[in-house]
Amino acid sequence: MESFWIDSIKNNIEFDTLNEDKETDICIVGAGIFGLTCAYYLSNLGYHVTVLEKYEIGEKTTGHSTAKITSQHGLFYDYLIQSYGEKYAKDYLEANEKAIKNIKQIIDKEKIECDFEYQNNYVYTTKPEEVRAIKKEVLALEQIGFQNCDFVTKTGLPFEIAGAICFKKQAQFNPMKYVMGLAKNVVSNNGEIYTNTTVTDVKNEDGLYVVNTENNKVKSKYVIIASHYPFINFPGFYFAKMYQSTSYVIAVDTKKTLFNGMYINFTNPIFSYRTAKWNEKEILLVAGGDHKTGQPTAYQDSYGILEKEVKKYYPDCDIISKWSTRDCIPIDKIPYVGAYSNIMPNMYVGTGFKKWGMSSSNVAANIIVDNIIGKTNKYAYLFDSTRLKPIKNRDEMKNMIVQSTNSLFLDKIKKPNMKFEEIKNNSGGIIEVNSEKIGIYKNENGKIYAVKPVCTHLGCLLSWNDVEKTWDCPCHGSRFNYEGKNIYDPAFRDLEIYNLDT
Ligand code: FES
């Protein structure tokens, strides 16, 4: 199951793995859209940047997103006014509107061919009883003086809606073509990018940072952690402030003329729609099936629900590809951007962009760059990464604590609920042998793969994901394939495996 964004740039440009020690001005850990946007701006300012990426460029979150560039982050502005006040909501909106313009400016200046197009963005409902929430959001936007939106009852969608709020002149693009364009520019500015290079820790030595990889080190004055989920646990404590959410995307050849606009509803089941270009054809992307990463899900609740929905309107459609994605969700719903921690000067972070990383990553990159060059950024206060304000979203907080505690402690003493012979081919589960938990996956032919199902981040018990054949962590969302190889952070080490041949 592969994202067609990633397919669209295969063999486009190749990077080396780091194989010697380096010194640089700024070391950036992570080559997704946020890391590469920082690298782009900083290398254009004359800094020498070195970017270290565990996988390939954009291969994780960026290459699996729906790539809507918008300041409309669900029904969010009424929440912001209620929680943080009018000025805060207005600045948040302005920062994200500016990000759309910044991205367009980069694309024009660097002539990046990435299928960028302006589109209106809609948050809609098909349920009359939910129209009130949309109208409340319209009023909130009026209150902060936003002219660029309307309440509408008609859209291009192939079904009737009860109401929607439309943000005009938002945008969509191919995120992989965009990040490749950024990367090329970084390299032409003498920046260095290394892929398949895993950072294991960052240490401060005599006022400089030493970023250690598995075999080498990079010394720099500044470090930017752009690795999706920050992997340094102490200080920072990001593991206590965010969880990961999984959602699913299908790319569909509808064989019909499609509509304009990007769409998402706001209560479960969530469905998100946008069009995209594929081999000169216009296709439809449908996303949804959201759940907390690590919670068990079934095919019918993930890809299945999307396929069923799209076939209602396009019965003759073909599914071209499907993929899942993970997003970091801060408990108070606000990204963390700025200093990694108060006790680590010159080390920065940008994370927790929720489902809206295309615009938020540009906002974040500008804040970090301004910080490094000593310029005031009027939006920096919005995302203060060291904030210690009381968490407003108490339900989310409680939920996360209960789930982490369950997984860290209670699940370890509970009896596993599977016996070896109960695990069917092409499926997995946890069994117990001599009081030891073992994660078993049997492939289609009955070949057995056995791992220690304990997360290498902070030790939570993993759960088997039968849709994607992976071991997922319910605490902070790390994932491992059935062979135990780490495929998603914040963990970066592979699982212990049991050799069944001996
Ligand atoms: Fe934190 Fe697994 S991701 S314990």
pLDDT tens per residue across span 66-103: 999 999 999 999 999 999 999 999 999 999 999 999 99
Atom number in ligand 1 closest to CA 459? 4
The domain limits of the chain are 4-64+176-241+333-389, 70-171+244-325, 397-498
Q: Work out the percent of the chain whose per-residue pLDDT is above 70.
A: 93
Considering the domain 4-64+176-241+333-389, what is its CATH architecture?
A: 3-Layer(bba) Sandwich (3.50)
Answer for the pair 117, 180: CB distance below 8 angstroms, yes or no: no
210 alpha carbon to ligand 1 midpoint, in Å?
25
Pocket test for ligand 1, best of 229, 456, 458, 492 (most atoms within 8 A of CB): 458
Residue 284, strand partner residues = 252, 275
Pocket test for ligand 1, best of 233, 244, 456, 457 (most atoms within 8 A of CB): 457
Q: How confident is the model at residue 392 (pLDDT cuts 50, 70, 90)?
A: low
Atom number in ligand 1 closest to CA 455? 2
Residues in contact with ligand 1 (CB, 6 Å cut-off): 239, 455, 457-460, 473, 475-478, 490-491
**Residue 346: closest CA among 454, 207, 241, 230:** 207
pLDDT number for residue 279: 84
pLDDT number for residue 399: 62
240 alpha carbon to ligand 1 midpoint, in Å?
10
Pocket test for ligand 1, best of 403, 478, 479, 489 (most atoms within 8 A of CB): 478
419 pLDDT more than 80: yes
271 alpha carbon to ligand 1 midpoint, in Å?
28
**pLDDT tens per residue, range 288-324:** 999 999 888 899 999 999 999 999 999 999 999 999 9
pLDDT number for residue 338: 97
Which residue puts its alpha carbon closest to atom 3 of ligand 1? 476
3 pLDDT more than 70: yes
Q: DSSP for 170-229?
A: EEE--HHHHHHHHHHHHHHTT-EEE-S--EEEEEEETTEEEEEESS-EEEEEEEEE-SSS
Atom number in ligand 1 closest to CA 478? 3
492 alpha carbon to ligand 1 midpoint, in Å?
10
Answer for the pair 259, 275: CB distance below 8 angstroms, yes or no: yes
**Residue 251: closest CA among 303, 299, 321, 313:** 321
pLDDT number for residue 324: 95
CATH class of 397-498: mainly beta
Average pLDDT of the segment spanning 365-389: 95
pLDDT number for residue 9: 86
Phi-psi region of 254 (alpha: psi -120 to 50; beta: other; left: phi over 0): alpha
Select the more confidently predicted residue: 211 or 228: 211
CA distance 325 to 245: 8
Which residue puts its alpha carbon closest to atom 4 of ligand 1? 458
DSSP class of residue 240?
G
502 pLDDT more than 80: no
Atom number in ligand 1 closest to CA 491? 3
154 alpha carbon to ligand 1 midpoint, in Å?
44
**pLDDT tens per residue, range 423-432:** 999 999 999 9
407 pLDDT more than 90: no
Select the more confidently predicted residue: 281 or 401: 281
411 pLDDT more than 80: no
489 pLDDT more than 80: yes
352 alpha carbon to ligand 1 midpoint, in Å?
16
Q: How confident is the model at residue 8 (pLDDT cuts 50, 70, 90)?
A: confident
Answer for the pair 442, 426: CB distance below 8 angstroms, yes or no: yes
Q: Work out the percent of the chain whose per-residue pLDDT is above 90.
A: 83
345 pLDDT more than 90: yes
pLDDT number for residue 147: 94
Q: Which two tokens stand for residue 145?
A: 């003086």
405 alpha carbon to ligand 1 midpoint, in Å?
12
70-171+244-325 and 397-498: same fold? no
pTM listed for this prediction: 0.94
Select the more confidently predicted residue: 367 or 401: 367
Report the mean per-residue pLDDT for the chain. 93
- Fold topology of 70-171+244-325: D-Amino Acid Oxidase; Chain A, domain 2 (3.30.9)
pLDDT number for residue 337: 98
**pLDDT tens per residue, range 56-74:** 999 999 999 999 999 999 9
Q: Which two tokens stand for residue 256?
A: 């019909």
203 alpha carbon to ligand 1 midpoint, in Å?
22
